[in-house]
Amino acid sequence: MAGLVGKITRLARSPKGRQLADRAQTYARSPEGKRKIESARGRFAKRGGKRP
């Protein structure tokens, strides 16, 4: 698993990773992004702590 975490860390620190993060933040601030985030939040909240 450390290999995967290392790859993610390298991506996050790279110029391409920063560009992707910026695009994600911009989308999250958009009206469409906010709607989708709230929809997903609602679906996860309904499940609550009900784990088998």
Q: Where are the domains of the chain?
A: 14-49
Confidence band of 44 (pLDDT split at 50, 70, 90): confident
Confidence band of 49 (pLDDT split at 50, 70, 90): low
CA 39 vs CA 10, 26, 34, 42, 44: distances in Å:
31, 18, 9, 5, 9
pLDDT of 47: 74
Task: Indicate if the pLDDT at residue 51 is higher than 60.
Answer: no
pLDDT of 1: 59
Query: Taking the CA atoms of the chain, what radius of gyration do you get in angstroms?
Result: 15
> Tens digit of pLDDT for each residue in 3-43?
999 999 999 999 999 999 999 999 999 999 999 999 999 98
